[in-house]
Structure 1
Amino acid sequence: MSSVASAPAAATGESEWVESRLVASLMRTTYTSQLMGIAVIPILFGVLADDAPLRWLVAWVLAATAAAAVRGWVLHRFATTVVHETAAAQLAFFRRWRISFPAVALVWGLTMPLFFDDAPLGDQFVCWLMVAGMAMFATITMAAELTTLRLFLDTLMLSSLAHILWHIGFERPLHGPYQYWVALLLVLFWAVLREAGRRLHVTLRRNFELQYRNAQLIESLTRQTQAALDAVAIKNRFLASAAHDIRQPVHALSLYADWLGSEPELVREIAPRIVESTKAVNALFDSLFDLARLESGQVHLRVGPVDLAQLARELELQHGPLAAARGLRLRVHAAPAIAHSDVMMLRRIAGNLLSNAIKYTARGGVLLSLRLRRGVPVLEVWDTGPGIPPGQEQEVFREFVKLPGHGGTEDGFGLGLYIVSRLAHVLGHPLTLRSRVGRGTLVRLVLEPTDAEAAARRAALAVSQLTSMPWVRA
């Protein structure tokens, strides 16, 4: 088994992970005492071959071999299979087979009737050394799991002490003080081993707790470093895309100005183009300012009642001429309803959705619907545009994304729907999208009541949510 503890899993709590590492340490170090116990069995048989009844000695050897075999199987199974499973699975396996440890202790405690006060003192001394060695090795190798260590020591010492006390009380009550001193020394030895095991266990537990916390700290630092790298990457894309998008209208303004200077009589033809280029630059700066405020968390909320019918009329007046100029029909259906939200941010969301729908739609129309659905106001924008290919629905809500081959994207900045998703998240309005290629797209905003405090917290966390925004696919 490897001696390197695995890193804590994200879903594993500290207590469970530490317990699983302690169990793994116990199973790993127990191999030492397991090998020692197997090696001592024939030695003890040889020492007591002339002192103990052969049938009882053989029975003990068979019992000790069987107990060692069972515990050996448990150790092997854990090392080859269970150690690769979850912490919970490791603990469940260990608890199921923990009985194999005190079973070994019981077998060794039963050596006492084979030699105590019957074998020559030299042989008794050798047997006592073997039993004491087993107890000390167990204290060192099993200290990682305190309950198991105590079960082992208690079983070994109680079974040994029980025979000594029975021997004193019933078999040879007047033999002398020797047995009493042995019983007292056994109790003291037992207490010392339990305390030594407890202290060693505390040290091991603290080491694994420290490992867990260090791993959590490293993981946290890794996440923060990755977040910083992501932020830098986004800012680089931000600057590159903004510079690319702003270059064309600014260059056009320069050309128009030169043209107007050299041929002033063309002012009627050039002036509208200058206005369009200026509008494009202003639109870009508006989007960049919105994005900067969102990503700095400096969004000021004014949550209150919003008259949706009035909002629909304002949006129709604002976007109707743009739709008509593109040969589209803008229809507005608004039911009398009140939403609890920030009117400026909601207007910005709806305006971006309408602008996006009109920009993408080459023929047909756009529908703005404000209605009640199960008592909750719902804002929907339908269009008859090209639709969004399957698998790319989420991409349109990322910053600087322009879908290739879609009309209307060449003069955009890829910020509209990104800002919509961010604002919707801040306000707590679930945003969904449904689209069919060649048929059009539906974007739905459920205007659940905005909690001002919760919205302020989400706005303050905007910087940590640079790379993606949660949204729900319909």
Structure 2
Amino acid sequence: MKPETPTPACSSSESDWIDAELIRNLMRTAPGTQITAALIIPVMFAVLQGVVPMAGLGLWTVAMLMFSVLRFWVMRHYSLHVAHAGTDAQLKFMACYGWTWPLGACIWASVGLLFFDKTPLATQFLGWLIIVGIGTFAVTSLSNSIRTLRSYVSALVLTCAGVILWRIAVDLRFEAAAFHYWLLLLVGIHWLLLLRAGQGLYETHRSYVELQYRNGQLIDSLTQQTQAALEAVAIKNRFLANAAHDIRQPVHALGLYADWLNNEPELVAEIAPRIVESTKAVNALFDSLFDLAKLDSGKTRVHVEAVDVGRLLKEMELQYRPLAQTRGLALRVSSAPGLALVQSDRILLQRIVGNLLGNALKYTESGGVLVAARRAGQGVRIEVWDTGIGIESQYHAEVFREFYKVPNHPGTDDGFGLGLAIVARLSQRLGHGLSMNSQPGRGSVFKLTLQGPGAALAQPFNMP
């Protein structure tokens, strides 16, 4: 059974993968080819028996049998250790054992020393016919590897030419008949014809494997695109389901409060604040959804300017200190002296830091929150530390997805799971590096790296 063709590996070049696949094709047909060659040995023995010296014929037969054993061992080694290996193993195998093919051709053609110009014409004709047939058969059986084909045909033809020249120069001392030279010319012509035919077959085989390679690459690409499309659909469905779920609760509460107010107008002082809170929740969710939509569509306008990080953090402190005091938490803001200005969009940067600071205060029950700005090379790194409940490492990447809420995590029930998703998108849009570290029960730290003046906003968004 023909083994399944492996998928093209990204680590291998196209040329190497094609060469390796051609070697596989060559070795798939090698057992049948070698069995055929082994069966011809007794045929040649029968043709020459009784008309050539038995000692020479026996020596040649033993050499051919020993070579056949070697070839079967090489094929078994390939089948056990190389057949299912990668591209490099295929190329290495051929580099190590490619010499066995021309060796076999030399042994086959050397039989001409026994019969050429020393036996009846019928015997010579049959002997040469077998050798020519072997050369022709090699063109089809070895055409998957042009290097192997050329070495085999060249070894076979050059050995035949050597047999003829030996007869002309050594045995007859250049007093040979004219047909010896004509025969030498025919051998050369036959050589060129074999090489030309082999080249044509090789190009056909290579074109087929090249097409196979490109089809494999196309299938891989289509598979990846299909997977990406399915993931996008799944994300969209999850997005819509979660959005519908999170909107339903405050809208349902609004309906209940409205009915309650309609039935008991005297409770307006008690019900009105709850309606206001539910309305704020719906508005906050819609604002977040619109923010994500703008970020996904690339419609968020970015106004890059030089931003004073120290001043920005002081403004954030004034805005969030009342919330910290309400929750009984300490809020500290620290900026290294002489911080350089950074390249960013001031409004969007405020939203990033605000979301991180708001999350830190929300998920911290005791202790406090530290917002620090430190030098980082030519830029500045803003760090938001808290002593909150922390996040297990398995959820570190997930918390930046839309609507994701850490399972069994206190404080997530009244949130939408959009704050960190917006932080991640805005950071990526601005080219700011974003990373986090968190340990359950000990707190979390989020780090935002900003470039100094004149730097391009090209730092990749990095999530540990």
Does the TM-score normalized on the shorter chain lie above 0.5?
A: yes
Alignment-derived partner of residue 13 in structure 1:
13
Contact 1:433 1:441 in 2 (8 A): yes
349-358 vs 250-259, which moves further = 250-259
Residue 387 (structure 2) aligned to one of 384, 387, 402: 384
User: Are 1:417 and 2:408 an aligned pair?
Assistant: no
Residue identity in the other structure for 1:97 = Y
Query: In structure 2, what is the equivalent of residue 345 of structure 1?
Result: 348
Asked whether the 8 Å contact 1:32–1:141 carries over to 2, the reply is no
Number of residue pairs aligned between Structure 1 and Structure 2: 460
- Is 1:292 matched with 2:293? yes
Distance 1:298 1:23, change over 3 A: farther
Q: Which residue is 1:462 aligned to?
A: none
2:189 is aligned to 188
- The amino acid across from 1:235 in the alignment is K
Deviation of 1:126 (Å): 1.5
Deviation readout 1:293-347 (Å, 9 max, x if unpaired): 2222334332232110121122222222222232222221123332222323322
Counterpart position of 2:80 = 80
Aligned letter for 1:203?
Answer: T
Q: 1:297 to 1:92 in 2, by over 3 A?
A: farther
Q: Contact 1:143/1:197 (CA < 8 Å) preserved in 2?
A: yes
Evaluate the alpha carbon distance shift between residue 392 and residue 288 of structure 1 in structure 2; reply closer, same or farther with a 3 A threshold: same
Instruction: Name the SS for the 1:377 alignment partner.
Output: strand
Letter in 1 for 2:342: A
Aligned to 1:100: 100
**In the aligned structure 2, how far is the partner of 1:195 from the partner of 1:66?**
31
Q: Provide closer, same or farther for how the CA distance between residues 122 and 144 of structure 1 changes in structure 2, counting only shifts above 3 A.
A: same
Q: Is the 8 A contact 2:116 2:124 kept in 1?
A: yes
| 2:243 aligned partner | 242
CA distance in 2, matches of 1:409, 1:20: 55
Deviation at 1:386, TM superposition (A): 0.9
Q: Distance in 2 between matches of 1:232 and 1:451?
A: 37
Residues 249 and 277 in structure 1, CA contact (< 8 A), matched pair in contact too: yes
Query: Contact 1:359 / 1:407 at 8 angstroms: preserved in 2?
Result: no
- Segments of structure 2 that go 5 or more residues without pairing to the other structure are none
Q: Is the 8 A contact 2:430 2:457 kept in 1?
A: no
Q: Report the CA distance shift for 1:91/1:240 in structure 2 as closer, same or farther (over 3 A).
A: same
Give, in whole Å, the separation in 2 of the partners of 1:170 and 1:471: 79
Q: 1:283 to 1:36 in 2, by over 3 A?
A: same
Quote how far apart the aligned CAs of 1:112 are: 1.3
Which residue of the partner structure matches residue 464 of structure 1?
A: none
TM-score (norm 2): 0.94
Deviations 1:340-369 (Å, cap 9, x if unpaired)?
Answer: 223233222211111111121122211111
The code of the aligned residue for 2:204 comes to T
Q: Please report how far the alpha carbon of residue 75 of structure 1 lies from its aligned counterpart in structure 2 after TM superposition.
A: 1.8
Amino acid at match of 1:100: T
Q: 1:71: how far off?
A: 2.2
The amino acid across from 1:177 in the alignment is A
Offset of residue 84 of structure 1 = 1.4
| Distance in 1, Cα, partners of 2:132 & 2:299 | 71
Counterparts of 2:125 and 2:5, CA distance in 1: 41
* Inter-partner Cα distance in structure 2 for 1:279 and 1:77: 75
| RMSD of aligned residue pairs (Cα, Å) | 2.0
Change (3 A) 1:309 1:229: same
Identify the residue that residue 410 of structure 2 maps to in structure 1. Answer: 407
Contact map agreement 1:337 1:371 (CA 8 A) in 2: no
Partners of 1:472 and 1:236 in 2: CA distance: 24
CA distance in 2 between counterparts of 1:11 and 1:286 reads: 46
